[in-house]
Amino acid sequence: MKAFEVVTEPINPQLYADYVLRPEAGAVTLFTGHVREWTQGVRTMYLAYEAYVPMAEKKLAEIGREIEVKWEGTRVAIAHRIGELQISDIAVVIAVSSPHRKTAYEANEYAIERIKEIVPIWKKEIWEDGEEWIGDQKKKPKEEVV
Amino acid sequence: MKAFEVVTEPINPQLYADYVLRPEAGAVTLFTGHVREWTQGVRTMYLAYEAYVPMAEKKLAEIGREIEVKWEGTRVAIAHRIGELQISDIAVVIAVSSPHRKTAYEANEYAIERIKEIVPIWKKEIWEDGEEWIGDQKKKPKEEVV
Amino acid sequence: MIELHYFAGIRVLTGIPKESVNFSNQTVEDLWKWADEKYPGIRNSSARIAVNEEYALPTDVIESGDTVAFIPPVSGG
Amino acid sequence: MIELHYFAGIRVLTGIPKESVNFSNQTVEDLWKWADEKYPGIRNSSARIAVNEEYALPTDVIESGDTVAFIPPVSGG
């Protein structure tokens, strides 16, 4: 594994938690983002993620550096999976260790917000009756929603 | 495993993350509290945790119910280990799943704060030159600190 | 008879983890007085009392058969 | 020559994932104009342009050999 990576195989979150653990760490937060079946009344069949892989890994590492500067003593690892993901599959894992717990929560939440801002990864939702690449506009096939 | 338990063996955090995962869950936060080597310049050799086990498990379950009422759609599992723990060992694991990520972070942090308020579990720190049960007072053997 | 449990720093103070004592139809406040006489300083320890695994108020009544625990400030996590 | 990469919704619009085009010593703004002529609507897609894996400003100059990517609004996580 790399500390900041885009992968195509199922994610084992424990690897990333283990990576960030150190004797100085009193707290580790591990966030996993999963494919959710229902979003605003629309049933997702599965998701397809695509990435601009080299840039995405660079941006993930950049987020890690931002965090390690912003919150002293933290250590970060992030992985995002691409390809077809089924309901409950892990799309993203963020592991943060810190001497103290408050920082571990804050820094972890910061990471997911930044991922959603700057990392070139895209999600396509596939419903029973259509599909769409999801971006800022968050369009949904309104007429087709049951 | 039980969703709210006090254990004596090493904690496998993944069990608790798996327990809370559901098709409705878009986010799972997993917090692990670890034995930290250094606290305010004092080196910890190891920790010993003691619990009033039946009441502790009852209070952990109560925290879980508080969360599931406060944040709709969440599911919670918590375990705390007792006995002698070495540096980096997991003392506590908190898993929270939620449809949305913000709630998963908030509810998880709420759980650890509540554990520190109401769950009858005590930590004894063992340093090179002494030991003490830690409570509100947070005393340290000042003269002996190098 | 009631069963008394002592934990952590309180157990260090009492020297024993538990004991059975004759006590019934008296309040938590009464138990504190009894305990502070037997174990001087226990009342100043910031401990709370739990009756049958629930934190109790000073006015709560303890019945024969109850399990009572002295809960020093907790420090889990 | 520069290499252009198209992703997600932008790739649906262009119909191809990448192409090489003759382009050098011109700005990102110039590339936008060229692209919008070839792929009408691409400019209104809220995409950003990255040059050599870094988000670029409209005034940044693109050199021969650069790798350029059209980055529609990201939706990872």
CB C36 within 8 A of CB C73: no
pLDDT in tens, D55-66: 999 999 999 999
Is residue D77 one of the residues assigned to a domain? no
- The first and second tokens of residue C71, run together, are 């809960």
pLDDT in tens, A25-48: 999 999 999 999 988 889 999 999
Taking the Cβ of residue B118 and every Cβ of chain A, the question of whether any pair is shorter than 8 Å is answered with no
Name the residue range of residue D52's domain.
2-71
Its ipTM equals 0.94
Name the residue among C69, C72, C73 with its Cβ closest to that of B55: C69
Taking the Cβ of residue A53 and every Cβ of chain D, the question of whether any pair is shorter than 8 Å is answered with no
Residues from chain B that touch A35, judged by Cβ atoms under 8 A, are: 26
Please give the pLDDT value at position B41: 87
Is residue D27 one of the residues assigned to a domain? yes
- The first and second tokens of residue A70, run together, are 């912003």
Instruction: Tell me the mean pLDDT in the region B19-27.
Output: 97
Query: Sign of the C-alpha dihedral, residues B15, A41, A110, A121?
Result: positive
Is residue C77 one of the residues assigned to a domain? no
Taking the Cβ of residue D40 and every Cβ of chain A, the question of whether any pair is shorter than 8 Å is answered with no
Is residue D66 one of the residues assigned to a domain? yes
What chain A holds in terms of domains, given with CATH numbers, is 4-128 (3.90.1170.40)
Instruction: Tell me the mean pLDDT in the region C2-10.
Output: 97
- If you write DSSP's letter for every residue of A41-99 in order, what string do you get? TEEEEEEEEEE-HHHHHHHHHHHHHHHHHHSTT-EEEEEEE-EEEETT-EEEEEEEEES
CB A28 within 8 A of CB A107: no
Residue D34: DSSP 8-state: H
CB B111 within 8 A of CB B70: no
| Interacting residues of A16 by C-beta distance below 8 A, sequence separation 6+ | A1, A30, A77, A78, A79, A93, A94, A95
Residues from chain A that touch B13, judged by Cβ atoms under 8 A, are: 14, 17, 30
Helix H or strand E encompassing A134 = strand A130-134
pLDDT in tens, C18-34: 999 999 999 999 999 99
Is residue C31 one of the residues assigned to a domain? yes
How many Cβ atoms are within 10 Å of A75's Cβ, its own excluded?
20
CB A77 within 8 A of CB A4: yes
Is residue D38 one of the residues assigned to a domain? yes
Query: Sign of the C-alpha dihedral, residues B96, B100, B101, B107?
Result: negative
Residue A137 has pLDDT above 60, yes or no: no
pLDDT in tens, A52-99: 999 999 999 999 999 999 999 999 999 999 999 999 999 999 999 999
Structural Rg of chain A based on CA atoms: 16
* Domain tally, chain C: 1
| CATH number of residue C15's parent domain | 3.10.20.30
**How far is the alpha carbon of D38 from chain A, nearest alpha carbon, in Å?**
22
**Interatomic CA distance for residues B2 and A125, integer angstroms:** 35
- If you write DSSP's letter for every residue of B72-136 in order, what string do you get? TT-EEEEEEE-EEEETT-EEEEEEEEESSHHHHHHHHHHHHHHHHHH--EEEEEEETTEEEEE-T
Query: Sign of the C-alpha dihedral, residues A48, A53, A59, A61?
Result: positive
Please tell me which residue of chain B has the smallest CA distance to A46: B23
Establish, for the pair of chains A and B, how many residue pairs have beta carbons separated by less than 8 Å: 94
Neighbours of chain A (3+ CB pairs under 8 A): B, D
Residues from chain A that touch D53, judged by Cβ atoms under 8 A, are: 52, 54-55, 58
Is residue C60 one of the residues assigned to a domain? yes
| Interacting residues of D2 by C-beta distance below 8 A, sequence separation 6+ | D20, D21, D23, D24, D62, D63, D64, D65, D66, D67, D68
The per-type count for chain D, helices as H runs and strands as E runs, is 2, 7
Is residue D76 one of the residues assigned to a domain? no
Establish, for the pair of chains B and C, how many residue pairs have beta carbons separated by less than 8 Å: 73
Q: Which amino acid is at A117?
A: E
Name the residue among D50, D72, D73 with its Cβ closest to that of A55: D50
